[in-house]
Structure 1
Amino acid sequence: MASLANKVILITGSSAGIGAGIAVHLAPLQPKLVLTGRNKDNLNKIAEKCQSAGLSADKIHTITADITRDEDLKNLIDGTVNKFNGLDVLVNNAGISYYKTTQETQMPKFDEIMAINVRAPCHLAQLAIPHLIKTKGTIINISSALGQKGIPQATAYCMSKSSIDHFTKLLAAELGPHRVRVNSVSPGFTRSELQLRAGMPKEQLEDYIKAQSYLTALGRAGEPDDIAKCVKFLASGEASYITGENILVDGGRNIAVPKFNISGN
């Protein structure tokens, strides 16, 4: 089993979705978790779920933050280090999606996507690096399968995730001499609130899930827990010789073709 006992782990966007799933999945391994997001009530609910999973309250710290604000990013790192005397793992998970083509994309929305999905992870990594060098820690960026094989209906989002993929490799090369590992995890379609927040009508969501499941080799949508398992591995010493990698956790979505009957029956 991956050992994360007493490792200080900061997870952005951990008030819901994949980030919350990561936090709850890691809780039984007894790390020191820093949960952050914009919704304080939701953060408290996830903290309670982590406690129900076996993590004591003194090992959980919540910080309400807006990652588009530089002062909030600084407060995240300072608050983490002040609370737990260091930082071992940074999980850059927070992100937003947006279903619009290039022609439909409004530039203010484009700027918002890049600010949250690209600038914030880069800046937070900058702030975290001095502390991660001390602990020989690791950075895990949550990217997307759409960073490798995008769809034209989500141009800005796909661009932002491609940027994260390249950033991961560049930062891994930069920090390798300091024994700091940097990897990314690219979920395929994963059941969460992301699609609704991106503007998908709620009544279309189940049909969308069915369509995505059909196009996935394993025939189902991903769950936050699927992503959390990969994060657990990369955060642990079991991945001590892995850096600069982007691991697809997509059920085979990026290799699959639509199923069809070739028997003639």
Structure 2
Amino acid sequence: MAATPHSDLTGQVVVVTGAGSGIGRATAHAFADAGAYVLGVGRRKDALVETAADRPRITPHPADLLTADTPQEVVDAAVERWGHLDVLVNNAGATRMMPLAETTAAGITALFELNVTAPSLLARAALPHLRRRRGTIVNVSSTYGHRPLPGAAHYAASKAALEQLTRTWARELAADGIRVNAVAPGPTESEALAAAGLPASAVDQVKREETGRIPLGRRGEPQEIAAWILRLADPTATWLTGQVLAVDGGLGLV
């Protein structure tokens, strides 16, 4: 299921984190297909090269967002290559099952470093360039940023924090003409569950249970989320800011 660009973003420069797979890869493709230049950021070089295959507008940029100098280095790489920066898509994140009885300080810290601290520092590094271009930030949250997720409360809390950052940055940066919005995907086909450490049998069970709760009767595809990220970043969406858009097959209605 391919996303059809509804926008002409020719000449726009976009940074997409977590571009090696899933929603990040689909988002990089959507922006490139709409005419933008994309810096695809992620930790796995091979995966980024696959993302960029047959799309010369995507430049792979391997980087660890948890390293202190990375946020500035990523922004500098985009600006040095294309001269400016219009859009930051904070997609990189981690899912972790961590019931309260098994909660550790290290586990909490790891989740919040990637899901909250890293996008914050990347946005700070991008801010001077976004001000010059009256650009936009799109954060990728989760349906569990505003719904309980038993057994993974700290993951849900980190996404709730990202949603509040979205609303607050939107107020803070409105005078600069910078729009800040978020997409909150429902259960979407990706590597996230396996990356969270769940065995294959547990992943299959979670997928079946999630599908059973979704009114539209299926999990989402990364391209469906990417299409809405593209629309939120569209420079013609001039009066939309501070919104968290649930793209979840109706799960929020249940």
Which AA in structure 2 matches 1:233? Answer: R
The normalised TM-score by structure 2 is: 0.95
Q: Which secondary structure does the structure 1 equivalent of 2:100 belong to?
A: coil
1:70 deviates by: 1.8
Structure 1 runs (4+) greater than 6 angstroms displaced: none
Aligned counterpart, 1:79: 77
- Give matches, 1:108-147, under 5 Å: 108-147=106-145
**Which position in structure 2 is the counterpart of 1:225?**
223
Q: SS where residue 10 of structure 1 aligns?
A: strand
Alignment partner of 1:93 is 2:97 = no
Say if 2:141 is the partner of 1:159: no
Which AA in structure 2 matches 1:69?
Answer: T
Post-superposition shift, 1:36? 0.7
**TM norm structure 1:** 0.91
Asked whether the 8 Å contact 1:102–1:152 carries over to 2, the reply is no
What are structure 1's unaligned runs of at least 5 residues? 257-265
Does the CA contact (< 8 Å) of 1:217 and 1:253 recur in 2? yes
Aligned residues: 249
Which residue pairs with 2:194 in the alignment? 196
Gaps of 5+ in 2: 1-5
Q: Counterpart in 2 of 1:237?
A: 235
Identity %: 35
Distance in 1 separating the partners of 2:88 and 2:10: 15
- State which structure, 1 or 2, has the greater radius of gyration over its C-alpha atoms: 1
Alignment of 1:100-111 (within 5 A): 100-111=98-109
Q: Secondary structure at the match of 1:247?
A: strand
In the alignment, what sits opposite 1:178? 176
- Which amino acid in structure 1 is aligned with residue 58 of structure 2? I
The aligned residue for residue 47 of structure 1 is 52
Q: Note if contact 1:65-1:73 (Cα within 8 Å) is conserved in structure 2.
A: no
Question: For residues 60 and 253 of structure 1, what CA distance do their matches in structure 2 show?
Answer: 33
Tell me if 1:18 matches 2:23: yes
Deviation (angstroms), 1:217: 1.0
Give the equivalent residue in structure 1 for 2:3. Answer: none
Deviations along 1:59-82, one digit per CA (max 9) or x if unpaired, are 322211111112111110111110
Cα distance in 1 between the residues matched to 2:34 and 2:168: 30
Contact 2:32 2:58 in 1 (8 A): no
Code of the aligned partner of 2:50: K
Following TM superposition, by how much is the alpha carbon of 1:45 offset from its aligned partner in structure 2, in angstroms?
Answer: 0.7
Deviation at 1:210, TM superposition (A): 1.9
Query: Which of 23, 27, 37 is the matching residue for 2:32?
Result: 27
Given that 1:187 and 1:250 are in contact with CA atoms closer than 8 Å, whether structure 2 keeps it comes out as: yes
